[in-house]
Amino acid sequence: MEDRPASVSSPTPRHRGRRILLWFLLVLVILGAGAFIAADFYLHRAAPILRARIIDTLSTRFDSRVELDRFDVSVLRGFEVSGGGLKIYPNNLDMDAPLFSVERFSFHTGWQGLFHSPTHIGQVQISGLGINMPPKDQRKGMPKLQKPGEEAHKRKIEVVVDELLINNATLILKTDKPGKIPLEFDIASLRLTSVGAGQPMHFHAILTNPKPVGNIDTTGSFGPYVTASPGDTPVAGVYDFSHADLNSIKGIGGMLSSTGKYQGTLNSIVVDGQTDTPNFSLDTANHPMPLHTNFHAIVDGTNGDTYLQPVDATLGHSHILAKGDVVRAEGGRGHDIHLDVTVDHANIADMLQLGVKTEPPLMTGALKLQTKLYLPPGKVRVTDKLHLQGTFQITNAHFTNPKIQGKVDQLSLRAQGKPKEANQESKGGEAANEASTMQGEFALGDSKLTISHLVYTVPGANIAMDGVYSLDGKQFDFHGKARLDAHVSQMVTGWKSALLKLADPFFAKNGAGTEVPISVTGTNSEPHFGLDFGHKDKEKNGNPPQQQGGTPPPAQPQQ
C-alpha cells in the first residue's frame, strides 16, 4: 500500500476567536500606550502654553509685571487648571505691594480651545483677592486697560473670561493725607460677568458690613473702569442691607434693615433708600421704639464720606428731618457726624421715652426743635459723646407724674388768684390739669441737658429759669423767677391773705402782681418746688451755686 501524507487539521472556530481577541487586546495596548504618550506630550506642551497665555494676557491688559508662583493642570476632564501666588505690579507705579494679588484660582477649558487664540474660559474661581489702590494723586500712573484684540506692546490678549466668582476679597484705598489711614472694604462673595475690558462689569456681591454688623447683598454694574481717574468710573445697582445689629455700636441698639438703589460715579454715588428699625433704643433708657427713615445721600466711594440731603425720619409718632455729612475723622479712626436737625409734628413723649429711663415719659406735648448735632468717633457710648445745641418749643404740655402736674395746677390756680380751688385740688379734689408751654435754648453733653433762657408759661404765671436735667431722670436743678398775675395776698385765704396784703407792694415788680425767685430740684420721682431767696443772695454775692454735673461742652460748629 502506498503511504498517504498525514492530513493537517484546520483550526477550530474557538481557536480562531482566541487569536482575534489576542490581536485586538494587543492593538488596544499599543493604542493606549500611544494615547498616554500623546497625552503626556500634549500636557507638557499645553501647560506652558496656557501659563504663558495667562501671564501674557494679564501683562498686556494691565501693562504690568506679572508673577505666578503655582500653576497646575489636570487632563481628566478637558483642562482643569489651578494655581496661586498671582501678583500684578504696574510698570508705571512704584508700589511695594502688588496692585492685584490672588491666593488661589482655578478654571476649566476644553481641549479644542486650548490651541485657538484667544483661549475662551467660561468661569474662573478666585479665593483671596487683594486690591491695593494707590493714593488718589498717584492713580494717573495706573495702567490703562486694553480691550480684547487691541495691541499693547505689540502683543495680543490671548485669554477671554466670561465670569469671575470671587470669595474673600479685600479692597484697600490708600491715602497720602497725613493722619488718615487707608479705607478698607471686605467682600465675602463677588460675581462678575462680562469681564471684557472697555465694558461695564455686571456684579452680584455679598459683603459683611463691619459696623453696624450686617449683611449687604447688592447687584449692579461697574465700569468701564476709568484708569486715569478711578473716581469717574460709573456704578449703579440695588442693595439689601439686612440683620444689621445696632448693638455693635456702643450706646444704641436695635436690628436695622435697609433697601435702596444707587447710581453715579465712584466719587459721587447718589443713593436713595429707606431703613426700618422696629426696636431702636439708646442705652440711657433701653426703651425700644420704631424708627423709619427715607433718605437721599451722596457718597464718595473713594473715601467713604457721605452727605445726607436729607434724612426724613419717623420716631414713634414724631417727624424728624436731618441734613449734614458723615466724613472721615482726622487720624482716620471713624467718622465725624455733623447734622442740622429739625423736629416738627412731634411729641416730646417720644423723645423722652427714647432717651430717659423714667417710665412713663415725664411729659406729653407738641414739640418743635432745631439743633445742630455733632457726634465724634470713639469707643464710648453714643449718648456720652453726643453733642446737641439748639432751641425748642413745647406746647399743650402735661406732666405724667401726678405730683408734678398737681404742683403745676396749684401754681396756676394761685397765680390766677384762685386759692380755694388750689386748696381743693391739694386735698384730692378735681384736678385742673392745666396745660403749659415752654421754650428755650439747650445744650446736651455728658448725658446731661443744660437748658438756658427757659420760659415756662401756665395760665396766670410766667416762669424764666436755667438749669440741668440728667437723662437718667435722677437730677433736676433749675432756678429762676416766677412772675404771677395775682398779688401775694390773693394766692392764700383767710387771715394769711389779710396779713400778706402788707407785703404785696414788696413783691409786685415790673408789671407783675408777684415776682419771686423759685427753684425746681430733686428727681423725677421726688421733685421739690419752692422759693429760692438763698439762690438769689448767692448770685448777688457773685458766688452762684454749682450745678451738679457741670455744664456739658457745646456742640461743635458745623463744618
Q: Which three cell numbers stand for residue 131?
A: 486690591
Instruction: Decide: pTM greater than 0.85.
Output: no
| pLDDT class of 548 with cuts at 50, 70, 90 | very low
What is the grid cell recorded at 512?
407783675
Give residue-wise pLDDT tens across range 4-39: 554 445 555 555 555 555 554 554 544 444 444 445
Q: Tell me how far apart the alpha carbons of residues 403 and 514 are, in angstroms, rounded to a whole number.
A: 24
92 vs 6, residue with greater confidence: 92
Pairing of strands 159-173, 119-133: parallel
Provide mean pLDDT across the span 252-279: 93
The per-residue pLDDT for 32 is 46
Average pLDDT (254-267) is 93
Separation between Cα atoms, residue 332 and residue 29, nearest integer Å: 70
**What is the pLDDT confidence band of residue 145, given thresholds at 50, 70 and 90?**
low
Q: Which one has a higher pLDDT value, 132 or 198?
A: 132
Question: ω into residue 544 within 30 of 0, thus cis?
Answer: no
Backbone angles phi, psi at 436, to 5 degrees: -130, 165
Q: 144: burial class by Cβ within 10 Å (0-12, 13-18, 19+)?
A: middle
Whole-number pLDDT of residue 295: 94
Distance of CA 528 to the CA centre of its chain: 43
Cβ atoms 498, 504 nearer than 8 A: no
d(CA 404, CA 11): 125
- Indicate the pLDDT class of residue 302, thresholds 50, 70 and 90: confident
Q: What is the pLDDT of residue 58?
A: 81
Higher pLDDT, 492 or 425: 492
Q: Indicate the angle between helix axes 419-426 and 402-415, nearest 10 degrees.
A: 160
| Cβ count within 10 A of residue 149 | 11
**Using CA atoms, how far apart are residues 159 and 116, in angstroms rounded to an integer?**
10
Proportion of the chain above pLDDT 90, given as a percent: 31
- Averaged confidence pLDDT in the chain: 80
The C-alpha atoms of residue 398 and residue 406 are separated, in whole angstroms, by: 10
For residues 424 and 471, the answer to whether their CB atoms sit within 8 Å is no
Of all residues in the chain, the percent with pLDDT exceeding 70 is 77
List pLDDT tens digits, range 187-238: 888 888 865 556 788 999 888 777 788 889 999 998 887 766 777 889 999 9
Q: Model confidence over 463-491: pLDDT tens digits?
A: 999 999 887 767 778 899 989 999 999 99
Say how far apart CA 63 and CA 93 lie, in whole Å. 10
- Note the pLDDT tens digit of each residue in 388-415: 999 999 999 999 888 888 888 988 999 9
Instruction: Select the more confidently predicted residue: 57 or 159.
Output: 57
Under the phi-then-psi rule, with left for phi > 0, alpha for psi from -120 to 50, and beta for the rest, what region is 52?
Answer: alpha
Whether residue 42 is predicted with pLDDT greater than 80 in this model: the reply is no
CB-count burial class (<10 Å; 0-12, 13-18, 19+) for 542: exposed
